[in-house]
Amino acid sequence: MKCRILHESTGRLRVHVYKYYMTPSQADQLEAFLKGLPFIERAKVDERTGNAVIRFEAGAGQKVRDALASFDFETTEVSIPENSGRELSRTYEDKMFFLVVRRIGSRLLLPAPLRTVVTIIKAVPYIWKGVKSLLKGKISVSILDAASITVSMLRGEFDTAGSVMFLLGIGDIMEEWTHRKSVADLASAMSLNVEKVWVRTADGAEVLTGVDKVAEGDTIIVRRGNMIPLDGTVLQGDAMVNQASITGEPLPAHKQEGSSIYAGTVVEEGEIAVSVRKAAGQGRYDRIVAMIEESEKLKSSSEAKASNLADRLVPWTLGATLLTYLVTGNAARAASILMVDFCCALKLSMPISVLSAMREAGEHHITVKGGKFMESVSEAVTIVFDKTGTLTKASPKLHSVVTFGDYDENEMLRLAACLEEHFPHSIANAVIRAAAERGLDHEEEHTKVEYIVAHGIASTINGQEVRIGSGHFIFEDEGCSVPEGEKELFDSLPDEYSHLYLALGKSLAAVLLIEDPIKDEAREVVEELHALGIERVVMMTGDSERTARAVAAKIGVDAYHAEVLPEDKAGFVREEHTAGRKVIMIGDGINDSPALSESDAGVAISSGAAIAREIADITISEDDLRALITLKKLSDALMKRITRNYRMILSFNSFLILMGVLGIFPSTTTALLHNASTIAISLDSMTNLL
C-alpha cells in the first residue's frame, strides 16, 4: 500500500493513504489489520481524509512501516467487524451535510418569492401529519409542529417557518442517528466479528467464503485459534473447543466426530470439519444478538412513565400557547411555545439510556433481555441464591472415604467407582475421578446395575447385594444399618460434606465424603450486596439441613432453606411478592426454572441448564458471582440517570416555555435550544455508567 508519513513521534505515527476514495468497509479493513498486529497498541482510520493514526510499542516504528507497505486492500485477508458503526455514521453525516447545504443554498441563491413557494411545499408534509393526528383523535407532538409552522406562515414569516422546519429536520436526523447508534453499539458488543470462513467444496478444495454465503449442510473448516462462526456438527477431526462465551465453562471441551459445536466458541487445539446446522443469523449466538436488539420493547416502568407524561403534556403546551395569545395578543410569543415539546427528549433519552446500559452490561459478559429487568434489579430488596452451581463451584470432589467394619478404603472406593460409572453425574464423576487418581482399576464384577431415580444404585457382586446412594435410600428404603459398635464413628461424620453411603448386604460399608467447594468470592459478594441495598440474601437448596447449615454459615446469608423442591423455591418468591418485596433469583439448574420465571428478575449462570438460561431475564456469562455486583451497580446507576434526565428535561423545557411567554426568546431560538438540549441529553445518555 502506498502512503505518506504526515507526522512521527515516539510511539506514534500519522500517515496518509494514497487512495482516491476509501469506503467505510476499506477503512474497517485497514483498521482491523493494524489492530491485529501484536506491536500496535491503538489504530484509528478516517475514511474521509484517508489518514490513519497509529500508536505502537517503543522501537517498533520500522515494523509499522513494513506492515503498511505489505498491506493491500485487494489481497490482504482480515476479519472485519460486522457492526463497526462507520457506515451508519457516514450515512447520517451525509444526511446532515446535505440538509445544511440545501438550507444555505436556498437562502443565498433563491429569490424571496421562490423561497416562499419552497417553504409552502416543505410545510405540507408537516401540516398533513398534524391533521392526520387530529383526525385520529390523538394529541401528539406532530400537532405542535404543524401549528407552529402554520402560525408563522399565516403571519407572513415564511423565513421563520423555513427555519423551524430546518431545525426540526436537524432534530429528526440527530434523534434517529443517536437511537440507531445505541442499538448498533449494543449489537456490536454481542457480534461475533467473523466475516469469512473456509468452506470445503465437493472436490475437496477449500475456498474462503463470506459467512453470509454459507448455507445449511455446507462443510466449513475451523483451525486452531479461530472462532467457530456457525452452529453445526463435527464431521471430521478432533479439537479442544473453548465454550466459555456460550456455557461459561472455564475448561475447553473435547469435540470429535458427531459432537455439536456452537457459534461464538473458539478452537484452542486441533482442526475440525463442521457440517453447518444453522446458517448466519440463525445460530445460538445470533439469536442472542437478535434478542438484544429487540429487547428495547421490554420497557421499564420509568420509560413508560416518561412516554406517557410526554403525550399528556402536549395538550398543556397547546393550552399554554392559546392562553398566551389571548392574554398578550402576540402571535410570536405564542408560536415560541409551540417550538418546545417534552415528547422528543423524554421519548428518546430514556430508551437510549437503557440501550446504552444493556450494551455496557454486555461488555461485562452480562446479557439483559430488557430495561424493565434492570429496573427490577435496582428496586429488589430480596435476592435468592440456589446453592449448587451458583454459590458453589458445581465441581464436586472426593474429600475422603470413611470405612466401617474391616473393609479397605481403596477397595470401597474401587467398588463405588465401578457402580457410579454406569450413571455419571457430578458426584459420580467425583468418585470415578478419585479412583483414577489413586490408580484403582475397577473391572466389571457385578451383575446388572439398577438405577433408582433420586435415590441411588443397586446391584450384586459375588452373590452379595451392594447399594450406593443417599441416606434415605440406604437406611430407609433398603433397611441397611450401621455396624455394631461403630455408631459413634457414624455420628462424628463432618456436616460440611455431602455423604454418599455404600452398603454391602444390609450393613453400611463406607461413607464417601464429597465436597463441593464454595466459590472464593461468595462471601464477599453477599457482603457487597448488603452494602448496595439488598436487605435479605437467602440460600435455597435441595441438600440436607446439615449441609445447608454449614454452607450458609460460611457464606453469611441472612436465611437458608434446605431440602426444598422446585415448587418450594417458586412459592418462596410468591410469598415475598405478597409481602411487597421485589425479588432477584439466581440459579443454574432445571429445578430453578420455576423460581426464575416467578421472580422480578431471574438471573441464570450460563454454565447451567439450557432451560434456565432460556427462562431467565438476565444471564451472567462469566462463572463469577462478582458480575452480580456489576449488574446491581449498573442498574442503580441507570435508574439515577433516568431520574436525572427526567428532571433536567422537565426543568429546561419549562424554562424555554417561560422565556417564550415573556417574549425573551423568539420561536427560532426556543426551537434551536430545545433540539440542542435533546441531542445533548441523548448523547450523554450513551456514555458508560461505570
Q: Is 241 exposed, middle or buried (0-12, 13-18, 19+ CB in 10 A)?
A: buried
Q: Which domains does the chain have, with CATH numbers?
A: 3-78 (3.30.70.100), 215-279 (2.70.150.10), 366-393+519-621 (3.40.50.1000), 397-515 (3.40.1110.10)
Looking at residue 53, its pLDDT comes to 92
What pLDDT score was predicted for residue 394? 65
State residue 538's pLDDT score.
93
Residue 291 pLDDT? 47
Distance between CA atoms of residues 686 and 473, nearest Å? 58
Q: With a cut of 70, which residues of the chain have pLDDT below it?
A: 79-85, 139-141, 171, 174-175, 178-195, 225, 244-251, 279-311, 338-339, 341-345, 347-348, 394, 422-426, 442-448, 451-455, 589-591, 607-615, 621-623
Residue with cell 424493565: 372
137 class by beta-carbon count within 10 Å (0-12 exposed, 13-18 middle, 19+ buried): exposed
Short-list 499, 502, 469, 548, CA closest to 399: 499
Q: pLDDT value at position 294? A: 52
Q: In what side-by-side order are the strands of the sheet with 397-403?
A: 397-403, 507-515, 498-504, 464-469, 456-461, 450-452
In this prediction, residue 296 carries a pLDDT of 46
| Dist CA 612 CA 603 (whole Å) | 9
The Cα 608–Cα 621 span in angstroms is 10
Closest by CA position to 360, among listed 63, 64, 638: 638
Among 603, 630, 621, 623, CA closest to 528: 630
If DSSP states are collapsed to H, E and C, what string results for 586-637?
A: EECCHHHHHHHHHCCEEEEECCCCHHHHHHCCEEECCCCCHHHHHHHHHHHH
Q: Is 99 helix (H, G, I), strand (E, B) or coil?
A: helix
The 3-state secondary structure of 489-523 reads HHHCCCCCCEEEEEEECCEEEEEEEEECCECCCHH
Residue identified by cell 402571535 is: 331
**Cβ neighbours around 185 below 10 Å, total:** 20
End-to-end CA distance of the chain: 40
The confidence score (pLDDT) of residue 248 equals 44
| Three cell numbers written together for 464 | 452379595
Using the structure block, give the residue that is written with the C-alpha cell 458427531: 258
Query: Is the overall model pTM greater than 0.85, yes or no?
Result: no
Closest Cα to residue 303, out of 67, 57, 26, 639?
639
Sign of the alpha-carbon torsion through 180, 185, 191, 194: positive
Q: What is the 3-state secondary structure (H, E, C) of 371-382?
A: HHHHHHHHHCCE
- Among residues 18, 183, 158, 155, which one has the least CA distance to residue 85? 183
Residue 369's Cβ-side half-sphere holds a number of Cα atoms within 13 Å equal to 16
Q: Which pLDDT score, from 0 to 100, does residue 582 have?
A: 92
Q: How many CB atoms lie within 10 A of CB 77?
A: 10
Residue 42 exposed, middle or buried by CB count within 10 Å (0-12, 13-18, 19+)? exposed
What pLDDT is recorded for position 124?
Answer: 92
